[in-house]
Amino acid sequence: MPERPKAKIIGSYIDLLDMNGVMEKIKTMIRDPGTQQIVTLNAEIAYLAQQDQLLQAIINSAGLVTPDGIGIVWAARLLGYEISNRVTGIELAYRVSEEAAKQGWKLFLLGAAPGIAKQAAYTLQQIYPGLQIVGSDHGYHNAQDMSAVIENINKLQPDILLVALGAPRQEFWIYEHKKDLEVRVCIGVGGSLDVIAGEKKRAPECFIKLNLEWMYRLLSEPNRIKRQICLPLFVGQVLKSKYLSR
């Protein structure tokens, strides 16, 4: 049984914390020894995890799992959990940067095409004066280069590593390399660096408020349909777990 209040949604445990609660938890992770993984979970990945034991184990062994998508919030409420709202990867990236500037935490940004992480670092430092981003790197290194990538991260001694390789690639990457990383917290933030760098646009506020961000992403990137096809399957599994399980 998990020791913190969590929602169990088709096999994945999600922390029932709002953004402030998540930030408090991150503060303790920075103080405590060891390297913690944070997963920002959406319905698509929760569905994939049901078919993939390793991914399920990664999610359920993470130090923190936040509800990134409205599908997760919907499912938690349907299953009777009290959950405030989404804590998305992009909002977490901004909030962590804001707090890092206040607390003196050092960040490293990893992921996206060459040049994007550097641009995102510049943008974040403009928004949050004093923010220390000690380094950045793109997300297209091959496996042979990975020990050099990790060595470079460790040399620069960040407290927090934002990993933007897309889900679930970033979840596997963090899990595989956690033991070699000398950082306190690794957070999977999906395509956030593209948005922060201005390379991609986040959905307009009205889509976000109406919880239709997924629809905006589908309209602006139609080939996401291959991934979003999981959404009705996720809904089916959640309904099955509510009404058909004993």
Q: Which residues bind ligand UDP (CB under 6 A)?
A: 111-113, 139-140, 164-167, 169, 190-191, 193-194
Residues 165 and 189 sit within 8 Å (Cβ to Cβ): no
Query: What letter would DSSP give residue 168?
Result: T
- Residue placing its CB nearer to ligand UDP in the complex, 55 or 112: 112
The CB-of-89 to ligand UDP minimum distance in angstroms stands at: 6
- Residue placing its CB nearer to ligand UDP in the complex, 42 or 97: 42
Distance CA 212, CA 80 (A): 22
The CB-of-82 to ligand UDP minimum distance in angstroms stands at: 26
Answer positive or negative: Cα dihedral of 109, 119, 70, 23. Answer: positive
The CB-of-213 to ligand UDP minimum distance in angstroms stands at: 11
- Residue placing its CB nearer to ligand UDP in the complex, 170 or 237: 170
Q: Which of 139, 142, 134 is nearest to 170 (CA)?
A: 139
Distance CA 207, CA 143 (A): 38
The CB-of-192 to ligand UDP minimum distance in angstroms stands at: 7
Cα 32 to the center of its chain, rounded Å: 21
- Residue placing its CB nearer to ligand UDP in the complex, 64 or 101: 64
